[in-house]
Amino acid sequence: MSPQPVVDIRGLHVRFGEVEAVAGIDLQAYAGQATALLGRNGAGKSTTMRVLAGLVPPTAGTVEVDGLDIGRHTLAVKQMTGYCPDVGGLVPRATPWEHLQLSAKLRRLDSWEDRARDLLERFELGGVAHRITGGFSHGMGRRLSVVLAALHEPRLLLLDEPFDGVDPIGVEATMDVIADARARGACTMVSTHLRELAIQACGEVLVLRGGSRVATVGAAEMAGEEGARAYRALLD
């Protein structure tokens, strides 16, 4: 008997007025696995992530997280997801610690402070924990977004462009967060344009084009020069 997927998307469509951002995606992702979403700008990666995070309701299709329909159990799904949005994702005049307090309060976390401090140190944000995020660099903001997504050890970790503009230390810390999530049996989805990092972090790669899935391949098949050529061919 095959295991139940943590993420089960069937026939997902998302329309914004005339624009169809996602045009019929089917996707399953499992516990203990990390799946990368690759594709060009406008392929539907971030919209799919936003649907899974409970931000954008599907126009059509079914989306289940851990067996719960996202439309009917939005709050429960938000409870079990950790989301790093592709842009910003930080309240500009709140401090990192206040972001963590808010997340902990709404997720009813107890004794979260030590883990929060540890994550901030791992991402080299301990020194700015009490400064407002409006003054942060892009990379600092990205790193904090990953910390916020990982704080409550979510069942589903959604990282949208977590490596964008991040320095090597931040990339390494993000890789550790993904590895930790896999080790404790969480399902991780990473959307990125950085193929090599996606391959390094994930076991499976989904390539999206024009709002649809065009391929699902093992990460190893996307590696090296050969993988780059194969990826390029899938984009055109």
Partner 1 sequence: MPTGLSSTSAASPAALHPTSIQAARRAVADVAHLVRFRVGTVRRRRALRIAVGILVGITVAVCTVPMALPDTRSNDVLIVMPTAFAAFLLLNIVSGVASGGGRELLSREQGVAYPVSPTTDHLGALLMAPLNIAWLLQAWTILGSAAYALPASAVPAALITCLLWFVVSTSAAQVVAWTMEAIRRRAHGRWVVRALVGACAAGAAYLQLTDQLIDFLDRLPTLWLVARSLDGFTASWLTGVGFELVVIAATVVLGAVPAHLAAKLPSRDEAKVEGGAYPVRRMPRTVVGMLASIDRASVWRSVPMRRGITVLAVGPGIVAILGNMSWTNMTILPGLVASGGALLFGVNAWCLDGRGLLWRENLPALPGQVFAARALVLAEFVLAASLVTLVMASLRAGVPSASELAAMLMLVLVVTLQVLAAALRWSAQRPFPVDMRSARATPAPPVVMVGYSARLALSTTFTGLLFSTLSRFPDWRLSLLFAVPLLAWSGFRFARTARRWQDPVERSRVVMAVAS
Which residues are at the interface with partner 1 (CB under 8 A)? 16, 50, 53-57, 71, 74-76, 78-79, 81, 83-85, 87-95, 97-99, 101-107, 130-135, 145, 148
Taking the C-alpha atoms of residue 207 and residue 213, their distance in angstroms, rounded to an integer, is: 6
Shortest gap between Cβ of 50 and partner 1 (angstroms)?
8
Q: Which is nearer to partner 1, 145 or 188 (CB)?
A: 145
Q: Which is nearer to partner 1, 147 or 205 (CB)?
A: 147
Distance of CA 47 to the CA centre of its chain: 11
Contact in structure between 86 and 55 (CB atoms under 8 Å) = no
- Residue 179's alpha-carbon distances to 85, 172, 202, in angstroms, are 19, 10, 9
* DSSP code at position 3: P
Q: Which is nearer to partner 1, 11 or 92 (CB)?
A: 92
Shortest gap between Cβ of 113 and partner 1 (angstroms)?
10
Farthest-apart Cα atoms in the chain, separation: 51
Q: Which is nearer to partner 1, 165 or 224 (CB)?
A: 165
Shortest gap between Cβ of 234 and partner 1 (angstroms)?
28
Which are the contacts of 55, defined by CB distance < 8 A and separation ≥ 6? Answer: none
Q: Which is nearer to partner 1, 28 or 101 (CB)?
A: 101
SS (H, E, C) 176-234: HHHHHHHHCCCEEEEECCCHHHHHHHCCEEEEEECCEEEEEEEHHHHCHHHHHHHHHHH
Q: Which residue has the tokens 């990192």?
A: 96
Shortest gap between Cβ of 97 and partner 1 (angstroms)?
6
Q: Which is nearer to partner 1, 29 or 77 (CB)?
A: 77
* DSSP code at position 21: E
Shortest gap between Cβ of 63 and partner 1 (angstroms)?
12
Shortest gap between Cβ of 147 and partner 1 (angstroms)?
11
Shortest gap between Cβ of 77 and partner 1 (angstroms)?
9
Q: Which is nearer to partner 1, 90 or 205 (CB)?
A: 90
Burial pattern 82-95, b for ≥16 Cβ within 10 A else e, equals bbbbbeebbeeeeb
